[in-house]
Amino acid sequence: MSSLITEITAPDGYKVTLNTGLFINNEFVPGAHTIDTINPATGKVIAAVQAAEKEQVDLAVDAAYKAFYGGWKTSKPLERARLMRKLADLVKRDSEDLVHLESLDNGKPLSASRMMDTDSVIEQLQYYAGFCDKLHGKVIETEGKLSYTIHEPVGVCGGIIPWNVPMIMLAWKIAPAVCTGNTIVVKTSELTPLSALKIAALIKEAGFPPGVVNIITGYGPTAGEALSRHMKVSKIAFTGSLATGRAIMKAAAETNLKKITLELGGKSPSIIFDDVESVDEVVFWTHTGVFFNSGQSCCAGTRLYVQEGIYDEFIEKFKALTLSKKVGDPFAAETFQGPQISEGQFNRVMNYIDIGRKEGATCYLGGNRVGDEGYFIEPTIFTALTEYCICFFYLDVTENMTIMKEEIFGPVVIISKFKDIDDVIAKGNDTTYGLAAGVFTSNITRAVKVSNALEAGTIWVNTYYSNSPAEPFGGYKQSGIGRECGEYALSNYTQVKAVKINVGKSI
């Protein structure tokens, strides 16, 4: 429908023509209503997109179900690989459209979108394209019988993606699903649907059969709930909040016991030892680990534990680097940090900053709004030590502060001093989460010891946010269930069938 086509103009004058319909069965169709997507840098409407309710979710799932049993389940692996590589090529061709949409819709700096987002999507598609013809079972030695296993697709998958890195999360859900012969319905966040709608058009252009990939937008309690409870959906992959993850797990249990993978929140520690070769380099990595994407990352290293020998030097250099980074217009070349995603998220982060002050933590830097338009917050540093009390007893108390326990999902970091390695490992693990952690040391024995002791799905040593499509990503404890990325993710999208053939004599 022509009424679903809109032209979006970015602040730098770049224009993108976009179909704002629901992408079902390779067509853009109207939804039950529309949702305004907001530019978080200004608070103004970018565009209205079509939104799904249960009826549209049913249509999308039915299309995926028909496509799965209509031929995609038994499609040739090399054909799946060809289509995925074609899609990767189209993403590369239209990368400027995609990064402009992502920065406008999400608020991340354009430079960051160019540096990371489309490249990550391309790498994910290419990586799993290479796996399409390598999904092998095993022959099992049994007496008088031929026994072997087959890895088969599970069927229709549902993907529910967050707003913080929507383009990357879309690829994380689509690539392993279609690689293994599944079809999929992806629900985008209502806050950041634009880049997914652009990729939807590229999926059709690449030549994917109708119904293999369907992309819809809608609210969690309606569209997300309907997808999670659908009896024709065999697997749900979700990235988002702990509360929503619990709701999806409950929905799966109460319906058809669909497989689930959940990548949820985090409260990741970074431990910095005083034997590091370069404090400046550690400051760079830990600063990036906290403030990249305005602190809106599930694996952000928001708890920094610095050994006492370099604490004073570290915190001064960390402060200096933080002050040197510009907060502002995502389309300005010099901007490092953009706005929070929405007014609601802005208020949530500011409330945590207020709680931190009230509970006695020292707000060493920041803590205020930036400007009077949009949802910008100063990068904020809390220290566990105050001017009045520097005893370790007080440090023990601060470990129980709300800002040390709960995921803030904003540009807020807490920096603490430590002395003993066993004590800091215990503090690093003192969380209900376990998504990621950082370790900074020049001692390889110490790096291995601490990495092995930390209860988290990813440990970065002398780096942070260094991800690859080949590496599994997921959490311990309440940070989630299952793994995404890498070969490990494939087991979430396949089921194993055992076949046993009698090749001996019958009695």
Calpha distance 123→119 (Å, rounded): 6
User: Can you give the CATH number for the domain in which 38 is found?
Assistant: 3.40.605.10
In a domain, 400, yes or no: yes
Can you tell me the mean pLDDT for 409-438? 97
- Which two three-digit tokens encode residue 79? 């054909």
Asked if pLDDT for residue 395 goes beyond 80, the answer is no
Q: How confident is the model at residue 223 (pLDDT cuts 50, 70, 90)?
A: very high
| pLDDT average, residue stretch 437-446 | 98
Residue 150 has pLDDT above 90, yes or no: yes
Angle in degrees, 0-180, between the axes of helices 194-206 and 166-179, rounded to the nearest 10 = 30
Nearest of 438, 425, 439, 460 to residue 273 by alpha carbon: 439
Same domain, 122 and 239: yes
Given 123, 225, 263, 407, which residue is catalytic?
A: 263
> Please, are residues 61 and 185 in contact by the beta-carbon 8 Å criterion?
yes
- Residue 394 has a pLDDT of 41
Q: Note the pTM of the prediction, 2 decimals.
A: 0.95
Residue 504 has a pLDDT of 73
> Same domain for 222 and 335?
no
φ, ψ for residue 465, nearest 5 deg: 60, 30
Same domain, 201 and 57: yes
Counting Cα atoms < 13 Å in the Cβ hemisphere of 298 gives 29
Mean pLDDT of all residues in 283-289: 98
Residue 505 has a pLDDT of 67
Residue 473 domain-assigned (yes or no): no
Model confidence at 95: pLDDT above 70:
yes
Give, for 496, the enclosing helix (H) or strand (E).
strand 494-502
Span 238-266, pLDDT tens digits: 999 999 999 999 999 999 999 999 999 99
Residue 385's pLDDT is: 56
Task: Report yes or no: 208 and 83 within 8 Å, Cβ to Cβ.
Answer: yes
CA distance 414 to 39: 29
Q: Please report the pLDDT score of residue 165 as a whole number.
A: 96
Structure tokens at 127: 């990586």
Mean pLDDT, residues 60-79 taken together? 98
Domain that holds residue 310: 269-468
Q: What is the mean pLDDT of residues 162-186?
A: 98
Q: What is the mean pLDDT of residues 34-51?
A: 98
Whether pLDDT at 386 is above 60: no
Nearest in space to 121 (alpha carbons), one of 411, 484, 469, 374:
469
Q: Which is higher by pLDDT, 218 or 3?
A: 218
Would residue 7 show up in a list of annotated catalytic residues for this protein?
no
Residue 506 in domain: no
Mean pLDDT of 381-389: 65
Task: Read off the pLDDT of residues 132-149 as tens digits, 9 standing for 90 and up.
Answer: 999 999 999 888 789 999
Domain identity same for 28 and 154: yes
CB 49 within 8 A of CB 34: yes
Q: 189 and 154 in one domain?
A: yes
Mean pLDDT of 163-179: 98
High-pLDDT (> 90) share of the chain, %: 93
Query: Does any domain span residue 505?
Result: no
Looking at residue 141, its pLDDT comes to 87
- Cα separation, 242 vs 369, in Å, equals 27
Answer whether residue 287 is part of any domain: yes
Strand 376-377 relative to strand 233-239, pairing? unpaired
- For residues 233 and 246, state if they share a domain: yes
pLDDT band at 2 (very low <50, low <70, confident <90, very high): low
pLDDT at 387 over 50: no
Q: Which of 25, 28, 44 is nearest to 36 (CA)?
A: 44
User: What total number of domains does the chain contain?
Assistant: 2
Handedness of CA 295, 298, 300, 303 (dihedral sign): positive
Query: Tens digits of per-residue pLDDT, 451-496?
Result: 999 999 999 999 999 889 999 999 999 999 999 999 999 999 999 9
In angstroms, the CA 105 to CA 423 distance is: 42
- State the CATH number of the domain containing residue 378: 3.40.309.10
| Any domain includes 292 | yes
Tell me whether residue 98 is in a domain.
yes
User: Which has the closest alpha carbon to 54: 292, 233, 286?
Assistant: 233
* Bridge partners for 384 per DSSP: none
354 or 392: which carries more pLDDT confidence? 354
Number of other residues whose CB lies within 10 A of the CB of residue 495: 15
Q: What does the pLDDT read at residue 144?
A: 78
Average predicted confidence (pLDDT) for the chain = 95
Answer yes or no: is 353 within a domain: yes
Predicted confidence band at 314 (pLDDT cuts at 50, 70, 90)?
very high
- pLDDT grade for 506, boundaries at 50, 70 and 90: low
